Structure 1
Amino acid sequence: MRMTFRWYGEGNDSVTLEQIKQIPGVEGVVWALHHRQAGEVWPEEEVMEVKKQADAHGFHLDVVESINVHEDIKLGKASRDEYIENYKISLRNVAKAGARVVCFNFMPVFDWTRTDLFKELGDGSTALFYEKSKVENMDPDELIKQTTDSGYTMPGWEPERLKTIEDSFRAYETVDEEQLWKNMEHFLLEVLPVAEEEGIKMAIHPDDPPWSVFNLPRIINSESAIERYLSISDSPSHCLTLCSGSLGANPENDIPHIIRRFADRIAFAHIRNVKTYDNGDFIETSHRSRDGSVPIDDVVRAYHEAGFKGYVRPDHGRHLWDEDCRPGYGLYDRALGIMYLWGLWDAYELEKRKGVG
């Protein structure tokens, strides 16, 4: 596996490239032009500026997360073709900086949903928390306010995007899951030929959480949904970002099994743990298997058995030792997570050399 670390860019992240460089085994940063809104072209000069910054620290920019898909594309509006053409230009421009994977999602309105960004755990650390009954009974505006009050820009919750939130909700009243599937297929069949030309794998991220929120359609949320998604095209650029935390919020999703089944189509792996509750709540925990409900040890074993050579990053971490950071994206716990993942991987490598297991 090839270890990476998500970085939000100079002046937009509490974590520096100098700090990331000190985490063993990290070879690249997962990046984006976060100031660019969905539908805008990513200019070549801005892309190359990020490359210059990464090159100075010996990092590659193989993985982009994310070139966001404009809402008009998801809705299937007449204006979508303009935004799809812009997306193609952006793909060509990131390829010039060495991009090999573009992680994206097709979640309507909200990229992800949590009800508490700093829920305290028993050890005094805090983490992202989802309270199901609260979501079912709260107004979306209330959720928007508490999510954007962290002091950091949050991907998927950009102020410009949220200005039209009421219009977006109204628009989705006529778009059900089947229509969303059709709109996604149209987008993919347009962009995959360009991605293939540029040597880029388009790797969709599952819905987070993997069920409907505020009655919005969600479609990438289970093994059967992944199977349907991957059947859309046999292009080598048609791939998956397997997020153990997003899918793992639903206990019915067997993450190690999903990895073993679709390993050859996984271009990018987000590895994180969540503790789930019978009432539908879940909270993000340390990466350690016993701290949550996702068997991270078996998740890594599944990748190891598959000879996975794709990109991996530790996903959301807890907030430790009074660190002031973007919710879920501090330095300390993600660095601890990397060392746990490497420890598992190295143990499985040793087993393999000794003929054990």
Structure 2
Amino acid sequence: MRIVGVSLLLGCIKKMTKEEREKANKDQINRFISAYYSEWRFIQILSIQKKLSNKYDFFQDIVDLVRETDNSAGDKTIAQEITNGLLFDAVQHSIQYIEDLFALINASSKKDYFIKNIIQYKAGKVENLIVKFKNENKIIYEHFHFPNYPEEDDHTEQEKETLRVINEGVNRLGLIIAEITEYYKQHQFFYNQYKHGLSIALRPYDDYNQEQVALDKRGEFEKPSIVALDSLNFKNAGKNQYGNTGYLMMPAFSDNVRPHMNTLQKENNLLRYVMSPRDTNIERIAEIASKTKRCLQILLHNFRSIINAEEFYDLRLPAEKETEVIEFKIEIEENTP
């Protein structure tokens, strides 16, 4: 068989009508959401939590292998370097989870170009959306695709009660978003240092001694914060210490460094430690991930409902109980906000 040519017939490219674009977007968005798995980063964090709860058994064989090139490796390695590394990994997943949420918020704001904007999203724009977030009900309604109905005098008592429940749910959602964006700002620097160049201190205060390891095995050792490395000059150092300690820690404050400290810091060349908030532990990270997942799932549900609705919107808001949502069936009218 001799093949002389292959061609793909695309047909004439014509401009889409508004109705055709709406149908095409509907199919693509439904496929995207069906293929998307909102639990994955939460599972990653829970798996890290499980490893930490059983770390001395889980990592024993691995430490034995590490000892081939690091003969000092042992339980102290599990207690400090491995534990700190896993916490940084959990922080990374939690920060990426929050970015996932806001990337979806950003992309879903323009449903005609949702696929383009979610797959080719600009990280800087999403980051800016997170750090500049304002907890205002108007913004929450808009971000989570919920019609914002003003209360009117001719509303029945039942309608007024429904609006009250909606406003409570929106307020609750706003508080959750405010909490996770604050966490993001407190941990973004640690995420960046871990992701880019491993500029972190997994062993910031030398080896743990036997007493510290013994306390850790009993669950009684109060661990210090995780530590990222920085060298930004004193004037701008606060940029990387949002919500953390107000002082600057210089771990290599030796006789050779002290006389030239001013020159080194002006050059962005003076080593410093940046400590995370003291509550940066796996329980807190898992809690933030759970809240992020809750917001993300409400967003996807509401967005999909808006896309597919014909007569009614089937929308959700968070209930008072963390594992529950409040469902609303709202008739679509011409003047629906």
Query: Shorter-chain TM-score: what band?
Result: under 0.3
User: TM-score with structure 1 length normalisation?
Assistant: 0.22
* Higher share in helix: 2
User: TM-score with structure 2 length normalisation?
Assistant: 0.23
Which entry has the higher C-alpha Rg, 1 or 2? 2
* Higher share in strand: 1
